[in-house]
Structure 1
Amino acid sequence: MSKPVIALVGRPNVGKSTLFNRLTRSRDAIVADYPGLTRDRQYGTGRLGNSPYIVVDTGGLSGEIEGVDPLMADQVRAALEEADAVLFLVDGRQGIVPADEVIANYIRQFDKPVYVLVNKAEGCDHSMVASDFFQLGLGEPLAISSAHGDNVAVAIEHVLSALPAKQDEEEFELDEHPGVRVAVIGRPNVGKSTLINRMIGEERVVAFDMPGTTRDSIFVPFERNGKPYTLIDTAGVRRRKNIKEKIEKFSIIKAMEAMADSHVVILLIDGSEGLTDQDLTLLGLAIESGRGLVIAVNKWDNLSSDQKEWVKNELSFRLQFADYAKQHLISALHGTGVGDLFKTIDAVHLAAFKRVSTSDLNRVLEQAVLDHQPPLIGGRRVKLRYAHLGGLNPPRVIVHGTQVDKLPAAYTKYLVNVFRKAFKWVGTPVTVEYKVAANPFEGRKSKPPSRLSGRQEKSEMKAKLKKKKKPTKRRS
């Protein structure tokens, strides 16, 4: 990377995510007065003047050895190993605590430049607040306020000035989410994070046998066979009545935003539980987002023959409204069928952005009308005159004609299926919109009828003819 990487480390609820959002000038990290909110490492880019940098937000280190905390510590370790500098955040209002000393000793093992930032120092004497943290032995602490921005620019300037200049001086913008963006959605504990780790081949996000482990949307860029992808791990979406924690409502919003930011959505279903009403709700949200869709049934290896047959019947019967989406039977834990997902992802992405010419669209539309005439509306036949492409991802076809706004939904579905088959728009929603042809005589004032008698009209016509005749001159 041509940009320096800065890792944010500290105890839970010391303000790391707030500082991350300020440094990246974004709201990518969820922020709330709630300890242990960030669990995976989150990447973002920032700039101070002409100096760009990459910031890595990490989960809080609590020192506990049970539950999800050791897995979170693995994420912190990965962030420290790839960082060029470390910002160690402590809470200035609480003062130094034993956990801060434990974290300081842990950070020293990585031999990276460390800067102690005493956060939440707004309204306080900065020198007094920072004085307690000299005993950490990591240099002079700097009092800041990540919420209000006090001394944040000073801290980053100090960090960047101490880092060696990068060899590549060519300035360019790093694509934060390169290639095909794939959002993985599903209910809690269906194996989304496990699938992400299996697809990229490393423990990139926290996978734990406990619902709600992922709370933020994590963007994971990687390459496969030379092609860039970005996988988006989202928070599990529960039924609304089961959402009790306020912070979980924020996670659901981030999951919905992730679908809007993606090119392809993978709906992951737990095969051991079958297709639930919440799965259908999520499927409806994915279709409404207009993104390409892939349905993956996880934990397939653990099912008996009778269970597999029952799940297949459920899918074929209850997913008829999404029959364009290809279904995969996989095991994220063991890797069964995961490799085939990439073939479908590539095909769906290609279809979602495939352009077709207006002439080809009209040729298909003409043949569709010949095969199946539009219905009569009010005794008049609906006329479909011509069509053109109105947008991509999803493909949007605009059809012009007379009375097209009165076409029934069944005929629209017929046209969608015709276009999908003709242009191989697989795995992506196809939208058909109508434009009623304007009446060329609308708005014109009609000429009032003549009230002259027949004899008067004849005399006026003779007078007009005489005026048109030119007099001839006789030669002497």
Structure 2
Amino acid sequence: MESPAHPTATEQRGVTVAIDGPAGSGKSTIARRIAETTGGGFLDTGAMYRAVAWDCLDRGVDLEDLDAVAEAARGLDLDLGTDPDGATVAVRGTDITAAIRTPEISSRVSAVATNTAVRPVLQQRQREILRATADARGLCAAEGRDITTVVAPDADVRVLLTASDEARMARRAAELGLDDSEASKAQMRDQVLRRDRDDSAVSEFLTAAEGVTPIDTTALGIDEVLERVLALVDAAHARNAAEAAGQDEDDEGPEVITTAGPGADAPSDEEIAGAWRAGLEDYALEDEDLALLEDEDADLPVAPAARNLPVLAVVGRPNVGKSTLVNRILGRREAVVEDTPGVTRDRVFYEAEWAGRDFWLVDTGGWEDKVQGISYRVAEQAEVAIELADAVLFVVDANVGITTTDEQLLKVLRRSDRPVILTANKVDDERGELEAAALWNLGLGEPHPVSAIHGRGSGDLLDAVLEALPEEGRGAAPDSGPRRVALLGRPNVGKSSLLNRLAGGVRVVVDDEAGTTRDPVDEKIELGGQTWTFVDTAGIRRRVLQSQGADFYASLRTRSALDRAEVAVVLLEASEPISTQDLKIIDMVLESGRALVLAFNKWDLIDEDRRRQLEWEIEKDLAHVAWAPRVNISAKTGRHAEKLVPALRTALDSWDTRVPTARLNAFLGAIVAAHPHPLRGGKQSRILFATQARTRPPRIVIFASGFLEHGYRRFIERRLREDFGFAGSPIEIGVRIREKRFS
């Protein structure tokens, strides 16, 4: 096959080619052939991770020391060849091309690949090599399962190669020299198909992302596939040539100041931004645009001061209607209510208001004396809530009367020396009021008859509550001052265990039964010299189990807790495959706009094989949140729990980050000059100006003369992260299309 004629790198920027595909689809072969045919370069991205592993082992760096490995990656003296006929790899001048393919490196490289501090460093170097090689040789081709979506989402040519299972197994068997026996087929099925199917169970692995060209290679020969990809390469060269020649004269935009003339000082960020801002005067702006531009560098909002409110604890034996009464007082459904006794298992704080006064309302699990198992721990926590309270609302069932359990709880209340408001619940008529009057014998004063379901008597009860509560509380209730952290994850993933470990004691009910936490529980904890408010949330079950009962309402409360939080720690179980439900929880965080930290729990339980598998799962399924800090912990033993605080601070700092308008526009000017928006139909959308509209999370508003393709927006986001960090925070990019004014 003859090499197609391509413009040289000195005439225009080179073409970057990214090829994805499952094992046996032909991606490595095609990438090398593209480079050979065009005289371009070939980038082996996997060799870089192996090189870091070799370097660390050679210098005695512990691969489990994440910070040390990341530092080694940043300072790696690497010479990576891009010749498709025989790319070499050298570190510190030593040729390690063969050494990095040894079993020792193959078995240890996963520790490097799973280090989230290493990945951005190497991915950035891969992008630089890809771009530099393309410009120097006219083209550079790279292959890998995530090359089109993570490493090079802005590549000129992005291709997903697919093939049938049978075709891929046959190709791999031929490559390894295996025969046609059943044993060989079984080996290929395990090697080629099992991993792909495990991955595709939680992601659309075989579906081309937006802007990626799919090619089914099942019935195609190598030359046929090569011809199709080369056609895409030719089209990319044509686009680059058109961009180098200049855009359509009818689509002029403001002048982009990027470099100074000979002998002149380089323009400042303010001068560049000023030129862009002046160009906006030629475009029709709306009132909201002008308001945004006038407020472009406003101060960040300040969190309100904490209030020291009094605390009212609601206690009683199981199923007397405490949570229903709490919901009645709050005027909304907050506490989980169900016919099953003991559904409320942990003490839970809510902010309530009556007659202009605010106070904290604490709902507790049902109290029983001489109980075992989880019920014993619930009763113990009810006693703790009583000690924290400024007054206690003692709820009894008027229809049942005083039981032995009520009498035991009454002894606890008398020992606490707290004001007690006796409440006779389930009083729906006057006859019930007469029965409630018998409770005078308890010696707690007037019993207050109420119907929590219908609201009967609730106003009089709250008047009595305000008389018993002091104006200010003891300061034990959570406040709005500390940064708020939501702990999220599937049931039984270890959220409550982690909270208890951080708090230094049993704060949340922990049991082998999945889903023992049903309501969000707030806890102020001192960590790293700073106070944090942690919210342990109900585990989010699969949708099929959410249709009714306590778990359904607990899931809704989890969403509400996330809305009240600033940063979410999503716990995933390292010993189990990343599930669809894990991804949905992460998506919930992204939709909420909260900062994000990923914590892989039970890290002490996994072996090297599981680590390698987890590495692949993270690569494919969590690529969209590669920017999130990651910690590998054991909530049970406390292993690496201290690394959670730096990750939280990093995420929150990014969440609060504001990029000055001048610096933002200078940044955009530089990347637009180097990588302008692609031409479409002879027209080219131009970025006119940009400003950051808000923080928490950062939202960038771009004014443009036309639609910016999603791939180009992702490119801008990636470059924003490279230049400004934003680790742990989502970034929102909005585009406002504005047309020129008519003369």
Please give the range of the TM-score, normalised by the shorter of the 2 chains.
0.7 to 0.9
**Secondary structure of 1:381's partner?**
coil
Corresponding letter in the other structure for 2:386: L
Q: 1:437 to 1:29 in 2, by over 3 A?
A: same
The structural deviation recorded for 1:251 is 1.1
Per-residue CA deviations over 1:402-454 (Å, capped at 9, x if unaligned) read 12x2x32221111001112222211111121111122312xx8xxxxxxxxxx
- One-letter amino acid matched to 1:438: E
1:173-218 deviations in Å (ceiling 9; x for gaps): x973332111111110000111112222232221222101011122
Equivalent position SS for 2:541: coil
Partners of 1:183 and 1:177 in 2: CA distance: 14
Structure 2 residue corresponding to 1:289, chosen from 567, 589, 592? 592
Q: What SS is found at the alignment partner of 1:236?
A: coil
Q: CA deviation at 1:36?
A: 1.6
Secondary structure class of the residue paired with 1:377: coil
Which residue does the alignment assign to 2:415?
109
Give the corresponding residue for 1:89: 395
Find the aligned partners of 2:355 and 2:344 in 1 and give their Cα distance. 29
Which runs of at least 4 in structure 1 moved beyond 6 Å after TM superposition? Answer: none
Provide Cα deviations, 1:324-364, integer angstroms capped at 9, x if missing partner. Answer: 11211000111111111111111111111111211111011
1:100/1:439 Cα in 2 relative to 1: closer, same or farther (>3 Å)?
Answer: same
Matching residue of 2:631: 328
Q: Distance in 2 between matches of 1:332 and 1:239?
A: 23
Judged with a 3 Å threshold, the aligned counterparts in structure 2 of structure 1 residues 206 and 326 are, in CA distance, closer, same or farther, namely same
* Structure 2 residue 709 is matched with structure 1 residue 408: yes
CA displacement at 1:323 relative to structure 2: 0.8
Match of 1:365 among 652, 668, 673: 668
Give the drift of 1:299.
0.8
State whether residues 45 and 52 of structure 1, in contact with CA within 8 Å, keep that contact through their aligned partners in structure 2: yes
Report the more deviating stretch, 148-157 or 296-305. Answer: 148-157
Of residues 600, 603, 613, the one that matches 1:310 is 613
Q: Equivalents in 2 of 1:226, 1:143: separation in Å? A: 48
Contact 2:527 2:645 in 1 (8 A): no
**Residue 461 of structure 2 aligns to which amino acid in structure 1?**
A
* CA spacing shift, 1:210–1:3, aligned 2, 3 Å: same
The 8 Å contact of residues 654 and 729 in structure 2, kept in 1 or not, is answered as yes
Residues 177, 219 of structure 1: 8 Å contact kept? no
- CA spacing shift, 1:64–1:167, aligned 2, 3 Å: closer
Map 1:32-47; keep pairs closer than 5 Å.
Answer: 32-47=338-353
What's the CA shift for 1:50?
A: 5.6
* Cα shift readout 1:46-87 (whole Å, capped 9, x = no counterpart): 344465433211011244633311111121011111223222
2:736 to 435, 445, 455: 435
Q: Identify which of 363, 369, 384 aligns with 1:78.
A: 384
Q: Quote the residue 1:458 is aligned against.
A: none
The one of 375, 391, 395 aligned to 1:69:
375
Query: Aligned match of 2:425 in 107, 110, 119?
Result: 119
SS for the counterpart of 2:662 is helix
Aligned to 1:59: 365
Does structure 2 retain, via aligned residues, the 8 Å contact 1:36–1:60?
yes
Shift in Å, 1:5: 2.4
Q: Distance in 2 between matches of 1:259 and 1:167?
A: 26
Which residues in structure 2 correspond to 1:27-426 (within 5 Å)?
27-49=333-355, 51-63=357-369, 65-125=371-431, 127-162=433-468, 176-225=479-528, 227-243=530-546, 245-403=548-706, 405=707, 407-426=708-727
1:23 is aligned to: 329
Distance 2:407 2:702 in 1: 68
* One-letter identity of the residue aligned with 1:421: E
Task: Please state whether the residue corresponding to 1:417 is helix, strand or coil.
Answer: helix
Instruction: Tell me the SS of whatever aligns to 1:386.
Output: strand
Deviation at 1:32? 3.8
Report the Cα distance in structure 2 between the residues aligned to 1:335 and 1:298, rounded to whole angstroms: 10
CA deviation after TM superposition for structure 1 residue 135, in Å? 4.2
Partner Cα distance (1:292, 1:283) in 2: 11
Cα separation, 2, equivalents of 1:321 and 1:383: 27
Flag the 1:231–1:367 CA change in 2: closer, same or farther, 3 A. Answer: same
- Three-state SS of the structure 1 residue aligned to 2:430 is coil
Task: Please tell me whether the aligned partners of residues 96 and 132 of structure 1 are also in contact (alpha carbons under 8 angstroms).
Answer: no
Cα deviation for residue 225 of structure 1 reads 4.9
Corresponding position of 1:452: none
Match of 2:314 in 1: 8
Deviation, structure 1 residue 254: 1.3
Between Structure 1 and Structure 2, which shows a larger proportion of helix residues?
Answer: 2
Mean Cα deviation higher: 304-313 or 320-329: 304-313
Q: SS state of the match for residue 380, structure 1?
A: coil
> After the TM superposition, which of the residue ranges 230-239 and 311-320 deviates more from structure 2?
311-320
Q: Distance in 2 between matches of 1:226 and 1:100?
A: 43
Whole-angstrom CA distance in 2 between matches of 1:247 and 1:165: 35
- Partner Cα separation in structure 2 for residue 422 and residue 153 of structure 1: 58
Query: Quick one: distance in 2 between partners of 1:202 and 1:418?
Result: 44
For residues 561 and 469 of structure 2, the distance between their equivalents in structure 1, rounded to whole angstroms, comes to 34
Instruction: Label 1:113 to 1:301 Cα distance change in 2 as closer, same or farther (>3 A).
Output: same
Query: CA contact under 8 A between 2:568 and 2:597: conserved in structure 1?
Result: yes
Distance in 2 (alpha carbons) for counterparts of 1:159 and 1:278: 43
* Overall identity of the aligned pairs, in %: 35
Shift in CA distance, 167/418, structure 1 to aligned 2, threshold 3 Å: closer
Question: Per chain length, whose mean CA-contact separation is higher, i.e. which structure has more relative contact order (CA < 8 Å, sep 6+)?
Answer: 2
Q: Give how far 1:391 is off.
A: 2.1
Indicate conservation of the 8 Å contact 2:391/2:468, yes or no.
Answer: no
SS state at 1:112 partner: coil
- The residue identity in structure 2 corresponding to 1:138 is L
Residue 382 of structure 2 aligns with an amino acid whose one-letter code is: V
Structure with the higher strand share, 1 or 2: 1
- Structure 2 counterpart of 1:368, which letter? I
Question: Is the Cα–Cα contact under 8 Å of residues 311 and 473 in structure 2 kept in the other structure?
Answer: no
Once the two structures are TM-superposed, the CA of residue 122 in structure 1 deviates from its matched residue by 2.4
Q: TM-score, normalised by structure 2?
A: 0.55
Preserved CA contact (<8 Å) 1:351 1:424: yes
SS across alignment from 1:355: coil
| Contact 2:601/2:635 (8 A) holds in 1 | yes
What TM-score results when the alignment is normalised by the length of structure 1? 0.84
Equivalents in 1 of 2:328, 2:673: separation in Å?
Answer: 60
- After TM superposition, the structure 1 stretch with the greater mean CA deviation from structure 2, 36-45 or 128-137, is 128-137
SS in 2 for 1:150: coil
Separation of aligned partners in 2, 1:238 and 1:93: 36
Offset, 1:42 = 1.0
- Deviation of residue 256 (structure 1)? 1.8
Gaps (5+ residues) in structure 1?
Answer: 445-476
